[in-house]
Amino acid sequence: MKIQCDYCGNTYEDTEPRCPACGAANTSHNNGDKKPRTIEELQGWYRARNLPPEEVTRFFIGKNITEPRAFGIYQDDAGEFVVYKNKADGSRAIRYQGGDEQYAVNELYLKLKDEIVRQKSRNAGTRSSGGKKTKGSFIKLGIFAAAIAGIVALFIHLFKNTSDGYYSYRGNTYYRYQSHTFLYDTDRNDWLDTDLYGIDVPPEVNAGDKNSEYYEGSSWNSDMDVTDWEESEYYEEYHDNSYDYDSDYDWDSGSDWDSGGSDWDSDW
């Protein structure tokens, strides 16, 4: 799939680690992003990004919308997962239909991320239309902003590490890793990403105060009634890059999402 560089506007294959035109990092390439694998997780990812309502973005997750101009995914009565696009004329193009939920979710997930980048680029172009700037100046500004963001992220990383660890609150066990919190599900015997599943975190845990009565320590031990978080699937995905988790796809509430500008005549 083609993606658009946030800095210079060049389009290139999403498998490339960097933009061939300006050298900016591909923010969707190996950036610690926890990819959703189920419709429920994709709904959580959508909420965690603070995206506009589905009626605005026209991405309907878990719904079979029949009206024109809509992307969506749902499970039909036969148990198959359907990924679709309703064109401007009301006709439907099926992107995928089958029993592989993870594959189906990934198809819509990639399309949604591509649309977020496109919408952000459109907003950036609108804001800069009042003055003339060269392509080179945009590249330099982007690189400078990325460097500043990296320094800020490093400080966040260093300071937040002091409160990383296990917290117990009203019979539930949580693990905080920098700005992310995971809840241990005793029914599944597994950790859940509270962002992905839309789980509310108690303020007593969200504060991340290691001096509080709820803090159990930074290291797992066999007396705990939970599995070691560092043995979970999340550890490798979040460990070194979690403070940079998918921030490029968080939506600015002050921006304008114009789904009317999408290509509603193509199959996908």
| Beta bridge partners of residue 215, listed in sequence order | 167
Q: Is this prediction's pTM over 0.75?
A: no
Structure tokens at 232: 């979970």
pLDDT at 31: 40
Q: Are 24 and 9 in contact (CB under 8 A)?
A: no
The answer to whether residue 189 scores a pLDDT higher than 70 is: yes
Provide the angle, in degrees to the nearest 10, between the axes of the packed helices 101-127 and 39-48: 20
User: What does the CA dihedral 28, 29, 30, 34 come to, rounded to 10 degrees?
Assistant: 30
Q: What is the pLDDT of residues 215-252, one digit of tens each?
A: 999 899 888 999 998 888 777 766 544 434 456 788 98
Q: Are 105 and 42 in contact (CB under 8 A)?
A: yes
The answer to whether residue 133 scores a pLDDT higher than 60 is: no
**Residue range 88-113: average pLDDT?**
95
Q: Which of 24-28, 58-62, 105-109, 225-229 has the lowest mean pLDDT?
A: 24-28
In the block, residue with structure tokens 């499970």: 75
The answer to whether residue 113 scores a pLDDT higher than 70 is: yes
Nearest to 95 by CA among 82, 109, 113, 79: 82
If DSSP codes are grouped into helix, strand and coil, which group holds residue 230?
helix
Q: How confident is the model at residue 89 (pLDDT cuts 50, 70, 90)?
A: very high
Nearest to 213 by CA among 169, 160, 163: 169
Q: Which of 50-54, 61-65, 82-86, 259-263 has the lowest mean pLDDT?
A: 259-263
Count the neighbouring beta carbons within 10 Å of the beta carbon of residue 82.
18
The answer to whether residue 108 scores a pLDDT higher than 50 is: yes
Q: Are 76 and 40 in contact (CB under 8 A)?
A: no
What are the strands, taking DSSP E only, across 58-198? 59-61, 70-75, 81-86, 92-98, 165-169, 172-177, 180-185, 190-193
